[in-house]
Amino acid sequence: MSAAGVALMLGGAGILLAASPAQAAEVSYRTECIPPPISGLPAVQGTTKVQITAPAEAKVGDEVEVVWKTVEAASKNPDVLDLEKDTVKPTGTVTVGGAGSGELKMEGPRQNPPIPKNSPMVLPDMKGKLKLEKAGEITLTPGAYNINVSKPISTDTKCSPKETVPVAARIKVTEGSGNSGGTTTSGGTTTSGGTTTNGGTTSAGTTGGATTSGGTASGGTTAGGGGQSDFPGKEVAVTFACKSPGPAGISSKVTINAKKNGGSYDLVVKTAKGVMNSPAALPAGALKPSMAVVVGGADKGTVPVTGPANKDPLEQGKPVDLADMTGTYKPGAGGKSTLSPGTLTIDVTLGGQKISIPCTVKGTAQASLELDTTAQPGGAAGGDSSSGGSPGGGSAGTDGGLAQTGAENDGALRALALVAGTVILLGGAVFTFTPWRRLRGTR
């Protein structure tokens, strides 16, 4: 068979080669898709049909492009929400076998036509680049994939195979310089400007630019005698892992300051500027932060601190400055007690309905402040401070506990946002079949 064309194109870290089309078979496999936790919906069983294309032949040293085309997704867009143009972004993994091994990360652009309710999901092609390092036959098999929908609020639906998936494409790799003999696949896909081998994540990652280290384990400022009343804390770096529909993670510098007030301490907790991006266009008063400050050392427990809601409207995707959070710490034990950042909770309220997004500390947060405390009646020793438990109802611990606002909170998961007079399910772009009439009856 004569070559359809040969072209050398620089791409990423290597040279991509073009020649006769590869024969890539379409494969189907049973799939389970997990809707975002906020939806409160059950898992969906469906069938995914995928076509993987790659060069039929290449040489050791070549970097080739692999394309994943989703012929049929596991389910239709449910009868809940029309998806706008360019709001859907897929990512996935292709298993590399035979003469190679490992997983190739695949990523598609946020690019789709408008997808009406109760119609097939239309996903853009995903791409990834594979460096060939060994002669032999390489096999490519599609696997798990993730669907991110950016509006009305960012949500992820995670889909994984429930059976052994057939090989979808093969590459014959021979020894050589890699400057000739390779071929690209057909199908009208573009080979320039593709994604890199490390793929990408499906949602906005860490924001704020803070580092993940700093400070000592004891940390903070030690309260001395001499009638001191103000105790400034030390700025410590903290990384939070958030549940959907919040950001995947938040990194921020956090400072806990205290002012003595009788036998108690008035706390002020500050975070970095632009600590997160707004999950949606929100009116004034819609977003409110709180935190469960962890008490350690001689004393034990958590102290809830709460900040006021945003004064000005927030634009979707734009950085958000969280207001200072305040609360009162009443010591329950005497000695040196530490105060460390704990679970950060972001409450979003729309139309009288509230969604709570818990962000738990990854690892162990360092102490921002150390105080010489004197036990007070009803203080924090052995449990939560007398001013109340953690904002999310979590328990104390070195990681700040976990606010009970995730999958266990059925009310929050099924909360509806009233936007422009229309009831829409946040995270409605999941792949599922649902008795939505029951939910609509709550309007």
Band the pLDDT of 101: cuts 50, 70, 90: confident
Q: What is the pLDDT of residue 18?
A: 38
* Residue 116 scores a pLDDT above 80: yes
Q: What is the pLDDT of residue 22?
A: 57
d(CA 329, CA 387): 7
Q: Prior bond to 341 cis, omega within 30? A: no
Contacts 24+ apart (CB under 8 A), 323-327: 323/289, 324/268, 324/269, 324/270, 325/268, 325/269, 325/289, 325/290, 325/291, 326/266, 326/267, 326/268, 326/269, 327/266, 327/267, 327/269, 327/293, 327/303, 327/385, 327/387
* Architecture of domain 7-174 in this structure: Sandwich (2.60)
The average pLDDT across 206-229 equals 44
Higher pLDDT, 225 or 238: 238
Q: What is the pLDDT of residue 40?
A: 64
Band the pLDDT of 3: cuts 50, 70, 90: very low
Element (H, E) at 413: helix 410-413
Sequence ranges of the domains in the chain: 7-174, 230-408
Band the pLDDT of 288: cuts 50, 70, 90: very high
Higher pLDDT, 424 or 44: 44
pTM: 0.43
Give 152-206 pLDDT, tens digit per residue.
777 888 999 999 999 999 999 998 753 433 333 333 333 333 333 333 333 333 3
Give 366-413 pLDDT, tens digit per residue.
999 999 999 888 887 544 443 333 333 333 333 333 233 333 333 333
Percent of the chain with pLDDT over 70: 67
Higher pLDDT, 191 or 129: 129
The CA distances from residue 261 to 201, 292, 297, 346, 375, in Å, are: 47, 20, 21, 28, 14
Higher pLDDT, 352 or 7: 352
